[in-house]
Amino acid sequence: MLENLEKIKQQFSEELNAVNSNAELEKIRVSFLGKKGLVTEQLKNLRDLTPEEKKTAGMQVNKLKNEIEQAIVEYQKTLEEKEYLQEIENSEHYDYTIPGGRGAGTLHPISIVQKQIEDIFKTMGFIIEDGLEIQTEYNNFEAVNIPKNHPARDMQDTYYLDNGQLLKTHTSAAQNAIMKKYGAPKTGEPLRVLFPGRCFRNENLDASHENTFFQLEGIMIGDDISISNLIYFMKVLLSEVFERDVKVRLRPGFFPFVEPGFELDINCEICEGSGCPTCKHSGWLELLPCGMIHPNVLRMGGIDPDKYTGFAFGLGLTRLAMMKYNIKDIRLFNSGNIKQLRQFTR
């Protein structure tokens, strides 16, 4: 019997080396380990042996069975790798060194609007900053006057990481770090910073709500900053982006990090205010909340609220792009639908 096992082992290794596909591998598995397979037959033959012989031969047959099973699993991995390499070999090849021509990419509509606003604000002395996407709970909430258990946290439910950090729910999460970085204005010139960024919220999706969207935030802090400065900058922003007058409304709004706070809504550009799914049939879309920075927020940022005041705004950049380009559904932006997205060029 031991001689037989040696022969089977030899035969298996020869046949395995000739295998080129999963189907052939399966055939081999059946012919050695299947119900009537060569190894299975040897197991059946054990019953004709004496108990003593059975013990030794049984161990040998099982050893061979395990070796064959193991070899088949290994060979399957090799085959998969071969198939993968073959697929790459057969796939279309790109020459990345060819300069872009008509087929070159275009800017995403959100990037176009972002760049446009950055350019306008740069000419008015604003520094452009970048906020982190993964933030501490402190920066996202506590540092903007939203302590633990504050009901305002419910409106910005997000995705938490195992280490306790979270995907930022608003660009305001960068306010504290920016204030600490630049400090109070030293030259009499107000501190002016613009910080766009991707935000995340655990939302019920609809035509104007995404779970991943862009905001663009601005702050201006100095010794004489008032609501009239705020209104002026909001007007400039909208008239430059739309290059025409748009209908807006300003109403009181509550945000723990500003006092007083405002909601600046835009008349829905899709239905011109008559009501549609994009504006949830209200005729208006919340676009540009803003207000005077709360003294607590300035203090936590290391700026003395008795000496300085400032305004902050948190523009819904994705929604602004919807209104500018007449896009009815916000989900288009993350859809990867190149054909639709590349039609917006300026």
Residue numbers at the binding site for ligand FA5 (CB under 6 A): 170, 172, 201, 203, 209-210, 213, 215, 217, 255, 258, 261, 286-287, 289-291, 312-314, 316, 318-319, 330
For ligand FA5, the closer CB: 57 or 287: 287
For ligand FA5, the closer CB: 12 or 213: 213
Cβ burial of 58 (10 Å; 0-12, 13-18, 19+) is middle
What tokens does 42 get? 């040897």
DSSP 21: S
- State whether the Cα torsion 194-132-285-260 is positive or negative: negative
For ligand FA5, the closer CB: 67 or 286: 286
Q: How far apart are CA 190 and CA 200, in angstroms?
A: 30
Cβ burial of 334 (10 Å; 0-12, 13-18, 19+) is middle
CB of residue 190 to ligand FA5, shortest distance in Å: 16
CB atoms within 10 A of CB 109: 23
CB of residue 184 to ligand FA5, shortest distance in Å: 19
For ligand FA5, the closer CB: 37 or 197: 197
CB of residue 304 to ligand FA5, shortest distance in Å: 20
CB of residue 214 to ligand FA5, shortest distance in Å: 8
CB atoms within 10 A of CB 133: 14
**316 phi/psi in degrees, rounded to 5:** -80, 90
Is-contact 186 305, C-beta < 8 A? no
Is-contact 324 244, C-beta < 8 A? no
Closest residue to ligand FA5 using C-beta atoms:
316
For ligand FA5, the closer CB: 19 or 266: 266
Q: How far apart are CA 273 and CA 284, in angstroms?
A: 6
CB of residue 144 to ligand FA5, shortest distance in Å: 7
CB of residue 337 to ligand FA5, shortest distance in Å: 18
CA 234-176-188 angle, 5° bins: 65
CB of residue 262 to ligand FA5, shortest distance in Å: 8
The per-residue DSSP string of 167-232 comes to E-SSGGGGHHHHHHHH-S-SSSSPEEEEEEEEEE-----BTTB-SEEEEEEEEEEESS--HHHHHH
CB of residue 333 to ligand FA5, shortest distance in Å: 9
Q: How far apart are CA 303 and CA 344, in angstroms?
A: 42
For ligand FA5, the closer CB: 37 or 316: 316
For ligand FA5, the closer CB: 154 or 189: 154
CB of residue 162 to ligand FA5, shortest distance in Å: 24
| Closest by CA position to 70, among listed 33, 117, 24, 18 | 33
For ligand FA5, the closer CB: 37 or 218: 218
For ligand FA5, the closer CB: 26 or 329: 329
